[in-house]
Structure 1
């Protein structure tokens, strides 16, 4: 498709697609955390803190704040995925944030007042996977290939 002789690129770049998929996943997880049945012990969910006994899929400890953070993270990713540079920044920056959360979760005890999100062991290892995966997507999908002369 062209406009007045100038080519218009309508194709979505792989990094934008990856950022959209990751963002949509965060939105789905955020919503799922508010659905009884998908979230066990739903009635024991607190706004924040390690006292929340609700677990998404019976595994990942969640709270209202935890679910809201997922929703906000997903919305930010959708907004940033409008451009390849924004998508790259979301994936790399988000990956770095999740690696910091992984380390934080390992250092802070599950019953500590500092565990305000809340995080449990399953969350910690998921954060490692998310951090590494998001970093890999952001870096590998925007890698510049060297041209040979």
Structure 2
């Protein structure tokens, strides 16, 4: 065994939650481009409500929507490396999803302002994601154990 190798660090529950959430976003971003998982993938638009592609036949997606999921996933995985990064990802990302939920509730689905695109299923998902991520960030972030190396 190499004595100069740094000891392995374990992830806190907060960091593990951020890692899992990030991995799920990454997976969803990839699945948004796969025919069969996404219906009407040949009608995938870059952005806007004109995209008729539906992830799992339920959630309206576009290229931009999928790319955002991919980037969000990469951010979650990268930020899960530290306790503060994981907490910021979960709480900050949760707030972003709550704002998306609010946006989806205010903007008509067939409006030109609906550039994401969003439908009713997306709105409910964004509400539950936002609440869940914020809750994970606060609940798992309460009992931080700080150690000096």
Partner of 1:137: 136
Could you state the TM-score of these two structures normalised by the residue count of structure 1?
Answer: 0.90
Whole-Å separation in 1 of the counterparts to 2:22 and 2:9: 21
**Deviation string, structure 1 residues 99-124 (Cα, Å, up to 9, x no partner):** 00000000000000110010000000
- In structure 2, the gaps of 5 or more residues are 145-149
1:141 is paired with a residue whose SS is helix
What is the Cα deviation at residue 142 of structure 1? 1.2
Whole-Å separation in 2 of the counterparts to 1:69 and 1:58: 19
Partner of 2:65: 66
The answer to whether residue 2 in structure 2 is matched with residue 16 in structure 1 is: no
Partner of 1:75: 74
Partner of 1:57: 56
Could you state the TM-score of these two structures normalised by the residue count of structure 2?
Answer: 0.90
Whole-Å separation in 1 of the counterparts to 2:118 and 2:12: 34
What is the Cα deviation at residue 144 of structure 1? 3.2
Backbone CA RMSD of aligned residues: 1.7
**Deviation string, structure 1 residues 70-112 (Cα, Å, up to 9, x no partner):** 0001111111111011000000000000000000000000000
What is the Cα deviation at residue 143 of structure 1? 1.0
Whole-Å separation in 2 of the counterparts to 1:15 and 1:78: 12
1:31 is paired with a residue whose SS is helix
**Deviation string, structure 1 residues 7-63 (Cα, Å, up to 9, x no partner):** x67221000000000000000000000000000011111111100000000000000
- In structure 1, the gaps of 5 or more residues are none
Aligned length: 141
The answer to whether residue 81 in structure 2 is matched with residue 95 in structure 1 is: no
Runs of 4+ aligned residues of structure 1 deviating over 3 Å after TM superposition are none
